[in-house]
Amino acid sequence: MAESSAIQVRPVTAGDVDVFLRLVDAHADFEQMARPDEEARARLVTDALARPPRYRAYLATIEGRDVGYAITYEAYSSFLARPTLFLEDIFVFSEYRGHGFGGVMFQYLVKEAVRLECGRMEWMVQEWNDGAIRFYERRGAIELDEWRTYRIDQDQLGRLARGEYEPGQSRGD
């Protein structure tokens, strides 16, 4: 196990673009998803480095080696009247898993949520990812079974914006 005091978490900077994108690619491979194409990679960099950034990206580093990353952004709860820190990604290169990097990154993000006066922190985990589920449950996270995640992809957004989708119509119609 790595000495947790030797692990540093820091925001991604312009000098970190290559390693950040390598980590994103490795994460896509792990999730068995397509890697971002060149246009998406350019947007990832632009959006992370914008002022203000569209999202916050962080790297976990030990002894000069960048071994993991996390992406967060803020949502807002009308009922709590506070922001929610949403954890989009947390990933560690496979050879560094089980050495405390994820825990240090997660703890860093928890402190960020407190600093930002968030009312809560949320994320999603794929149901096959038993390691991640155990990781979060060991930290007291609970699975929400009363909420379902829905998604509208970019193509469907365009159809809706153009009025090409009738209310009540199912996707298969």
What CATH number is associated with residue 113? 3.40.630.30
- Alpha carbon 113 to chain centroid, angstroms: 14
- Alpha carbon 83 to chain centroid, angstroms: 16
Q: Which pLDDT score is estimated for 152? A: 87
Q: Which pLDDT score is estimated for 16? A: 97
Burial of 170 (0-12, 13-18, 19+ CB in 10 A): exposed
In this structure, is residue 42 part of a structural domain?
A: yes
pLDDT surpassing 90 at residue 105: yes
Contact 113, 46 (CB under 8 A): no
Rounded CA-CA distance 83/95 in Å is 34
Express each pLDDT in 76-93 by its tens digit: 999 999 999 999 999 999
In this structure, is residue 39 part of a structural domain?
A: yes
Rounded CA-CA distance 63/2 in Å is 11
Whole-model pTM: value is 0.85
Rounded CA-CA distance 119/84 in Å is 6
Q: Regarding predicted confidence, which is higher, 114 or 97? A: 114
In this structure, is residue 28 part of a structural domain?
A: yes
Rounded CA-CA distance 90/24 in Å is 10
Give the model's confidence band at 70: pLDDT under 50 very low, under 70 low, under 90 confident, else very high. Answer: very high
Q: Which pLDDT score is estimated for 84? A: 96
Residue type, 168: G
Please count the structural domains in the chain. 1
Tell me the average pLDDT of the chain: 91
In this structure, is residue 166 part of a structural domain?
A: no
pLDDT more than 90, % of the chain: 70
In this structure, is residue 63 part of a structural domain?
A: yes
Express each pLDDT in 47-68 by its tens digit: 999 999 999 999 999 888 999 9
Q: Which pLDDT score is estimated for 4? A: 63
pLDDT surpassing 80 at residue 127: yes
In this structure, is residue 170 part of a structural domain?
A: no
3-state helix, strand, coil in the chain (%, to 5): 40, 25, 40
Which residues are marked as active site? 136
Express each pLDDT in 129-169 by its tens digit: 898 999 999 999 999 988 888 888 889 889 889 888 766 65
What's the whole-number mean pLDDT along residues 66-74? 97
In this structure, is residue 171 part of a structural domain?
A: no
Range of the domain at 69: 4-161
Q: Which pLDDT score is estimated for 71? A: 98
Q: What is the 3-state secondary structure (H, E, C) of 34-103?
A: CCCCHHHHHHHHHHHHCCCCCCEEEEEEECCEEEEEEEEEEEEECCCCEEEEEEEEEEECHHHCCCCHHH
Q: Which pLDDT score is estimated for 37? A: 98
